[in-house]
A and B are shown apart, each in its own frame.
Chain A
């Protein structure tokens, strides 16, 4: 059996490990564009912040490929897939045949539309190399400009603040972290960051950068100019699937997969940031480009590729952010569209500085936001992931004393559709 995995990220790695557990003899080839050891992408912001060191990033040791008997092809991007002859084209010259192919190419940063992006000290924050470069130029910089109020933007801003820089953040629209948290939590985070010195501008974008060699200022859509000697672009990511033949493999925003992580072509699988599957909270297709999904989907894909049919319940968005004294944990649909009969409950405890918001659809929890006292977040995630109908008062989930026992008492786990 010839297994080919495109992508050396955590989805690809998890798939390779699962395949090897079930199939000792098959040939596994991994193709990746980042050379070097597979590393933990969410931790690059901690390296920027200084709470983790670059040598903590690798998630596997160098001998990993040898131990699992994997043939690596690194530093190259796949340019084409020929589903008829079951081969992938690597670079210009190389072609690799497969019986089972996994596309786990992840995502690339969303580009911005501004002039003079080639100036020095303007960077995306997607790879460990990006962060290494930022750290190198830290010494000579004082004023950083962060583009984007999403997760990457916030983590970049937080890291640079902790490094002692003056940071200005530009948010295109809405409120900060609008995709990750609800408005209240977003404001709490913003308040905390502003208290620590962050400047924020809402509703504006950069039209052009200025500078000789390095960036010196940015022109803003409102006509103003902001002086800066470092720019970080964090405007989200897009699935990396330019090489995928759309006439043979169905693509929506990401590559569409079924519960076995299989694409419309039965020999081809997809997992991680590039894949699109049913989101259990939204009950519709969605790309959840997050690390823990990549781990799970890679694992499921690998198991299925090795011939053991295992279904995946569905994907689920989730995030945990620690910013100064604020812990924020969110999952599922944090800001539901009002028209669809969602039920929303929230509770704020000013004295303890905690906030909880729960989103229900009928008796099911489909989303939540918690600020501080986040230890029980995993219980809520499990309730959502297994789509367990609640038989206890919904208010109980808002109480910081909520714990596993409260759902166990009423046999909620036994009532799970999976158990039935």
Chain B
């Protein structure tokens, strides 16, 4: 018989904790996924529409039952509506996260941001310049206030196009203009998508999907990009630093605090409090050897990138981390936080704290963080965590952590390259590096945990393809050891040589899921250096285990920016073969890139390698047959 839970996850820590969870009678996401089977085929195919109350409606994929909703929408329209709303939700999530950072930036500018600072004034000035915000003779606070105002304009409807779109290669901008998909305002496009998908508005599935492209671009080159840039300005632009991964980062003899969610606005303050003299003394007085702050999900990635904070796991591990019984407190902000978590925590001493007024959870204590109270609220909750150390029962930390190097922003990559992207371009031209791939996205119980990410990354680096990753994919690849300093040994000879020379691993951790925009910026820099469009580059994207609406939006802005993107799980679109064909073939003529869907990472690797070699060939670079 197989090892227990080997079918659920490739991670040893997860396997062992799943056994413990079973013993402790904890229900996990895997069990709930099993209990949901079979999942509704109408919904899986995108053929159910709940947008109005003449409905709900569904279309029979076999052609025998109803073929139109009450309003007359056919399968194409219904699938396009659903996909459109999915994109809107993803864009809204990232962009609203960005807005919260802009608010903090504004508060800091006006002197109300208790505890927040401008950590990267250089970047503040650079971005302000992009926004046309005057910097001469102004202090950082005045610039911050001006930039925050300018960014808020991007959210509204006063602009012809959002500002940071100008970072894209000129050819790409022109293509978007000709297609009429240049985003005009971040909120506007999401709002318009909700309007268009209302009954009786846009009932041309192609036009709906084109707006989907515009909506996704408003996230990738808008909301998400603002989130990343403002985070860098407020908390520092990441530089490479050592860190550790998996549940082994929990400390037996320290107060363990886990931050979960996405926005660094909360976790940065908690980190600060956890490192304060006062709290460390308190911890000592309670018999703890220190305060160990670790992350799960993307807020963890944010802290990792800037401070080397360790990561206990990714999406599917979030319940299991609690089942160690070693966590004094988990603080959550928003996104990807399973409502089941407090139930798991209730089996142990773990305190669960929700922090955002827009994200509340059953069974959690609510301690709302605002810019003006963030520093003191952080002290309050950390004190509670430390005091909870005494209540810890038996802890089960079954593995040792894995070392890794993280913190690769575009700036730090260019720095590592010696100040310009040229060495990377030369290596690509010479074929030492065949190309680069961004592996991004989530975990999904439909795919064995981390199997998609890790198998794909392994095949790519073996074949001299540089991998950059973000989000839960980045945590997966780190757990697998691909980010240890000597991981270059796992790569093909060409990539190994380059990594060795630069002292970097073959898989570069580029941050959280909003940080996917760093990949866009990097791709633009390469395209500009080669004087081509992004779609001409030997690069690709992959979301092998995606689950969330945000990931759908990321996929669309990748493809719309010219990046061939392979999805693991199928999005809910198979109800319309027209739409399947458009996304997997037709888009090539529109944006120069397509989606592919391939759950098997071995096959996905082949698709990607073929794509990269074909792009090399088109650029006149030495190419191989795959």
Contacts and interface: CB of A to CB of B under 8 A. Distances in A.
B34 A345 contact: no
A345 B1 contact: yes
Nearest to A395: B1
Given A345-B1, A351-B26, A401-B37, 9 more contacts: A349-B22, A350-B22, A350-B23, A350-B25, A351-B25, A351-B27, A395-B1, A399-B34, A401-B34
Interface residues of A, number: 7
Contacts of A401: 34, 37
A399 B30 CA distance: 14
A399 B22 CA distance: 14
12 contacts: A345-B1, A349-B22, A350-B22, A350-B23, A350-B25, A351-B25, A351-B26, A351-B27, A395-B1, A399-B34, A401-B34, A401-B37
SS class of chain B's interface: helix, strand, loop or mixed?
Answer: loop
Contacts of A350: 22-23, 25
Contacts of A395: 1
A349 B34 CA distance: 14
A394 to B, nearest CB: 9
A416 B1 CA distance: 26
A399 to B, nearest CB: 8
A154 B23 CA distance: 30
Interface string A330-350: 000000000000000100011
Interface residues of B, number: 8
Contacts of A349: 22
State the 8 A-B residue pairs at the shortest beta-carbon distance, nearest first. Answer: A351-B25, A350-B25, A351-B27, A401-B34, A401-B37, A350-B23, A345-B1, A350-B22
Nearest to B37: A401
A161 B37 CA distance: 41
The secondary-structure label for the interface of chain A is loop
Interface of A: 345, 349-351, 395, 399, 401
Contacts of A345: 1
Contacts of A399: 34
Contacts of B23: 350
Contacts of B1: 345, 395
A350 B1 CA distance: 21
A250 B295 CA distance: 76
B39 to A, nearest CB: 13
A103 to B, nearest CB: 47
A395 B4 CA distance: 12
Contacts, number: 12
Contacts of B37: 401
Contacts of B26: 351
Interface string B1-31: 1000000000000000000001101110000
Nearest to A349: B22
Nearest to A353: B25
A345 B27 CA distance: 22
Nearest to A348: B22
Q: Quick one: which of B23, B25, B26 has the most chain A CB within 10 A?
A: B25
Nearest to B25: A351
Contacts of B34: 399, 401
Nearest to A352: B25
A269 to B, nearest CB: 46
B571 to A, nearest CB: 26
Interface in B371-428: none
Nearest to A343: B1
Contacts of B27: 351
A183 to B, nearest CB: 20
A401 B23 CA distance: 20
Nearest to B27: A351
A345 B2 CA distance: 12
Contacts of A351: 25-27
A399 B34 CA distance: 10
Interface string B226-256: 0000000000000000000000000000000
Nearest to A399: B34
Nearest to A345: B1
B22 to A, nearest CB: 7
Interface in B12-70: 22-23, 25-27, 34, 37
A401 B31 CA distance: 11
A216 B618 CA distance: 101
B626 to A, nearest CB: 34
Interface string B435-473: 000000000000000000000000000000000000000
A350 B21 CA distance: 11
A395 B25 CA distance: 21
A301 to B, nearest CB: 43
Nearest to A350: B25
Contacts of B22: 349-350
Nearest to B7: A395
A349 B25 CA distance: 8
A112 B171 CA distance: 98
B343 to A, nearest CB: 12
A350 B20 CA distance: 12
B19 to A, nearest CB: 12
A181 to B, nearest CB: 23
A345 B1 CA distance: 9
B34 to A, nearest CB: 7
A265 B37 CA distance: 56
A351 B37 CA distance: 20
A185 to B, nearest CB: 19
A401 B36 CA distance: 11
A399 B23 CA distance: 17
A172 to B, nearest CB: 34
B157 to A, nearest CB: 51
A241 to B, nearest CB: 45
A403 to B, nearest CB: 11
A350 B37 CA distance: 21
A387 B23 CA distance: 35
A401 B32 CA distance: 12
A359 to B, nearest CB: 15
B503 to A, nearest CB: 47
A346 to B, nearest CB: 11
A96 B37 CA distance: 63
A361 B26 CA distance: 34
A311 to B, nearest CB: 37
B35 to A, nearest CB: 8
A395 B26 CA distance: 21
A275 to B, nearest CB: 39
A52 B622 CA distance: 86
A401 B1 CA distance: 20
A350 B19 CA distance: 12
Nearest to B35: A401
Which of A345, A399, A401 neighbours the largest number of chain B CB atoms within 10 Å of its CB? A401
B376 to A, nearest CB: 41
Contacts of B25: 350-351
